[in-house]
């Protein structure tokens, strides 16, 4: 019989109808009232965002709450002055990092929530994480890994990447997008709304926030209380059969 690594109590039953209400009522809201989001509510939403699943628990996200009047005005302009940015009570820039993995791997081992770090965990973060996520100067190590993987892949299943800085951006963005969805659902559960914006000048946003070189903006979220006309159009989703493939 295999040894149980960790046993977590089963969660309490969830009210599916209430969760469905949160999901169905989450809309991209383009116009907000001037009602502020209480600081404790916003903090709770951010905490729930950071509970999102993420690759190797390396937590590649950063959240910039743009609250100073000067920076907020500049960010609105960088977001093409769209109404979802102009009227928002809060503007949150969600950023992905491609090089924070090394520091975060160290933090996992330092802050492990049990008295003793399991051997497999130590091995993963001390040895395997650098193997997977370090790409080397000019992607030199990434190219070596790609060649090794191609050969190994002929005989067994193997992870196919990341092998470049471009791959690392995709890797980081996937986890960060999950956190963004958590944040928007949490806002909705608290009675507030949001609009994820891709229409922005990334160069200008980077300058406003003075982001490090490995950071890139995944989306800007406008958040607040929706006005009665805050949703511009009815929701449209294509037929499930177009997207669900049972093979």
What is the average pLDDT across 125-149?
Answer: 95
Whole-number Å distance between alpha carbons of 235 and 246: 26
Of 15, 16, 19, 11, which Cα lies nearest the Cα of 185?
Answer: 19
Write out pLDDT tens, residues 101-110: 999 999 999 9
Q: What is the pLDDT of residue 6?
A: 87
User: 125-149 as b/e, with b when 16 or more CB fall inside 10 Å?
Assistant: beeebeebbebeeebeebeebbeee
Q: Per-residue pLDDT for 5 more than 90? A: no
The CATH number of 30-164+179-232 is 3.40.109.10
Sole residue written with tokens 């009675």:
191
Provide, rounded to the nearest whole percent, the portion of the chain with pLDDT above 70: 99
Q: What is the pLDDT of residue 2?
A: 63
Residue 4 pLDDT class (50, 70, 90 cuts) = confident
Sole residue written with tokens 């960010």:
75
Write out pLDDT tens, residues 63-115: 999 999 999 999 999 999 999 999 999 999 999 999 999 999 999 999 999 99
What is the average pLDDT across 229-241?
Answer: 96
Whether pTM > 0.85 for this model: the answer is yes
Instruction: State the DSSP H helix or E strand holding residue 130, giving kind and residue range, or none if neither.
Output: helix 129-133
Task: Determine the straight-line distance between the first and last CA of the chain, rounded to whole angstroms.
Answer: 34
What is the average pLDDT across 212-218?
Answer: 97
What count of residues does the chain have? 247
Query: 71-76 contacts: CB < 8 A, separation 24 or more?
Result: 71/208, 71/209, 74/204, 74/208, 75/205, 75/208, 75/220
**C-alpha to C-alpha distances, 202 to 66, 77, 175, 207, 211, nearest whole angstrom:** 15, 12, 20, 9, 11
Q: Per-residue pLDDT for 245 more than 80? A: yes
Q: Per-residue pLDDT for 189 more than 60? A: yes
Q: What is the pLDDT of residue 1?
A: 54
Write out pLDDT tens, residues 166-186: 999 999 999 999 999 999 999
What is the average pLDDT across 209-234?
Answer: 97
């Amino acid at each position: 019989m295999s040894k149980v690594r960790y046993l977590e109590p089963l969660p309490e039953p969830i009210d599916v109808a209430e969760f469905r209400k949160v999901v169905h009522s989450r809309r991209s809201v383009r116009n907000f009232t001037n009602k502020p989001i209480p600081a404790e509510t916003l903090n709770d939403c951010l905490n729930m965002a950071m509970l999102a699943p993420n690759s190797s628990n390396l937590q590649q996200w950063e959240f910039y709450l743009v609250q100073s009047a000067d920076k907020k005005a500049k960010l609105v302009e960088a977001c093409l002055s769209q109404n979802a940015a102009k009227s928002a009570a809060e503007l949150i820039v969600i950023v992905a990092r491609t090089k924070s993995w090394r520091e975060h791997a160290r933090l996992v081992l330092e802050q492990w929530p049990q008295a003793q770090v399991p051997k497999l965990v130590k091995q993963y973060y001390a040895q395997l994480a650098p193997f997977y996520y370090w790409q080397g100067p000019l992607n030199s190590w990434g190219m070596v890994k790609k060649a090794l993987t191609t050969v190994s892949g002929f005989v067994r299943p193997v992870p196919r990447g990341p092998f470049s800085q471009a791959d690392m951006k995709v890797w980081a963005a996937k986890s960060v997008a999950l956190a963004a969805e958590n944040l928007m659902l949490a806002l909705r559960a608290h009675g507030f709304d949001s609009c994820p914006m891709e229409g922005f000048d990334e160069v200008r946003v980077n300058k406003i926030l003075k982001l490090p070189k490995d950071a890139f903006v995944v989306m800007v979220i406008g958040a607040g209380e929706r006005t009665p006309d805050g949703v511009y159009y009815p929701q449209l989703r294509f037929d499930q059969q177009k997207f669900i493939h049972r093979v």
